[in-house]
Amino acid sequence: MTMLDEPKSRLSRQLTTWDAVIIGISAMIGSGIFVAISPAAGSAGAGILIGITIAAFVAYCNATSSAQLAAVYPESGGTYVYGHKQLGPFWGWLAGWAFVVGKLASCSAAALTFGYYAYPPLANVLALGAVLSLTILNYFGIQKTARITWMIVILVLSALMTIIFASIFGGKADTSHLSPLSGDNGVIGILRSAALMFFAFAGYARIATMGEEVKEPRQSIPQAIVMALAITMFIYLSVVGSALLAIGPQEMAKSTAPLAEAVNAGTFFWLSPIVRLGATVATLGVLLSLMVGISRTIFSMADNRELPHWLSAVHPKFKVPHRAEIIVAFFTGVIVMIGDIRSAIGFSSFTILIYYAITNASAISLPKEKRLWPNYLAGAGLLSCLLLALSLPLQSLIIGGTVLMIGTIIFFARNKMVQSRQQ
């Protein structure tokens, strides 16, 4: 019997299927769509539309694996826990390491997106200011409320609808911008764009972890995953397709704020502030949730003594893992000041694809009676994650591979130290 079948739950089962769908959409539609399309268009041209579809399929496979693993192991930590339980300590550690480092890059990409849409000449400074401000909020235990989250979602969707309208009816739309649909660099370019656009689907796993809060989760969670991903993919295809019509893939690839550029190109250029406002709000919301999530993962790993134990400290008054939050802010700030947004997206995509490859491998190893989906979906997810990761630019592969190697060295060095102490 899986956790989804148990009649009792530690949490209140009040969410319907549509509630889960809305939560999933709100988790996915954030800063990624405002920035990931630029390097993706540079890789595939108009083929980015095919790349988005591939990214959505990979996200679906990953979400189904996450959902059935969350049903068996309903505890915090995600694939850090699943890898430990199903594949062994090393794979759990590697998943946790990839998640923390990859999401730090995601934080910097979100912060830089905020800066470029708010005021491009001071993008790095504004990004650093956003990191510091949100760290202070987190440090004092201030959390987003459901009302604020809904306001963010409504504003972001309004901005995206504005982009579609202004791009199509602004007088610059040209269908020749959509050819060749096979892309400028063939299959490799499309796969690379899919890997980069995978960054924009981050958040879908939120649905998979709601087994104790959804009514009839065995039916509702699979339906919610499919519906949320389908709706998000439709929105992304509509937004990117309309922007391509307005400015074409070459202009989109060169811009650090491509969707604002699409609106500026036409007669409705005066709507551009709405797009920039939507982007800045979206990135701040994503940045806040990312920083919270990473600091809690670091806290969990430190509490298990797989990272320095002093990082597991909890502030006596505010009851937050304050040292973990400060570490997250420090490294995010460093990346923001010395890195660039494209390399951050590529590196983040690589490490998170490896993270989900381990997720799928963990799902494959589940006993048959504990599976909620056919095993071929987890297999397709595993192969797709590895394929997309390897299709990324060489710079992302080198940096990502180096980081994974460092994580591997740390794991075995730490184990050797523990064994020496025990002897």
SS (H, E, C) 401-414: HHHHHHHHHHHHHH
- The range of the structural domain enclosing residue 322 comes to 14-412
- Looking at per-residue confidence, does 16 or 119 come out higher? 119
Residue at 258 is within a domain: yes
pLDDT given for residue 242 in this prediction: 96
Look up residue 152 and give its two tokens.
């963010």
Alpha-carbon gap, residue 181 to 240, rounded angstroms: 13
Query: Model confidence over 93-102: pLDDT tens digits?
Result: 999 999 889 8
Query: Model confidence over 201-244: pLDDT tens digits?
Result: 877 766 665 555 667 766 777 778 888 888 999 999 999 999 99
CA neighbours closer than 13 Å in the CB half-sphere of residue 137:
17
Instruction: Tell me whether the omega of the peptide bond preceding residue 180 falls within 30 degrees of 0, making it cis.
Output: yes
Residue at 2 is within a domain: no
Most confidently modeled of 52-56, 282-286, 324-328?
A: 52-56
Q: Where are the beta strands (DSSP E) in 80-164?
A: none
Alpha-carbon gap, residue 37 to 231, rounded angstroms: 18
- Is the pLDDT assigned to residue 143 strictly greater than 50? no
Q: How far are the Cα atoms of 35, 298, 365 from residue 41, in angstroms, in the given order?
A: 11, 34, 37
Listed in sequence order, the DSSP H helices in 176-216 are: 186-197, 205-208
Cβ neighbour number for residue 76 with a 10 Å cutoff: 12
Q: What is the CATH number for 196?
A: 1.20.1740.10
pLDDT given for residue 149 in this prediction: 61
Residue at 1 is within a domain: no
Look up residue 407 and give its two tokens.
């994580």
Read off the pLDDT of each residue in 287-315 and give the average, rounded to a whole number.
83
Alpha-carbon gap, residue 168 to 97, rounded angstroms: 43
Alpha-carbon gap, residue 80 to 93, rounded angstroms: 6
- 1 pLDDT band, cuts 50/70/90, is very low
Residue at 327 is within a domain: yes
Read off the pLDDT of each residue in 343-368 and give the average, rounded to a whole number.
92
Q: Residue 15's closest CA among 206, 192, 204? A: 206
Cβ neighbour number for residue 300 with a 10 Å cutoff: 22
Its sign, for the CA torsion 270, 285, 56, 204, is negative
Its sign, for the CA torsion 280, 282, 285, 290, is negative
Q: CA end-to-end span of the chain, whole Å?
A: 41
List of residues 6+ apart from 74 with CB closer than 8 A: 3, 211, 212
Residue at 317 is within a domain: yes
Its sign, for the CA torsion 30, 32, 38, 43, is negative
SS (H, E, C) 109-125: HHHHHHHHHHCHHHHHH
Alpha-carbon gap, residue 288 to 142, rounded angstroms: 11
pLDDT given for residue 163 in this prediction: 95
Summary count for the chain: helices (H), strands (E): 17, 0
Residue at 423 is within a domain: no
Q: Residue 361's closest CA among 379, 344, 335, 347? A: 379
pLDDT given for residue 210 in this prediction: 58
Cβ neighbour number for residue 326 with a 10 Å cutoff: 15
Domain count, the chain: 1
What's the CA angle centered on 346, arms 119 and 225, to 5 degrees?
A: 95
Average pLDDT along the chain: 85
Residue at 299 is within a domain: yes
- Is the pLDDT assigned to residue 12 strictly greater than 60? no
Q: What is the pTM of this model?
A: 0.84
List of residues 6+ apart from 334 with CB closer than 8 A: none
pLDDT given for residue 10 in this prediction: 46
Query: Model confidence over 253-285: pLDDT tens digits?
Result: 998 889 999 999 999 999 999 998 888 888 887
Residue at 419 is within a domain: no
- Looking at per-residue confidence, does 174 or 222 come out higher? 174
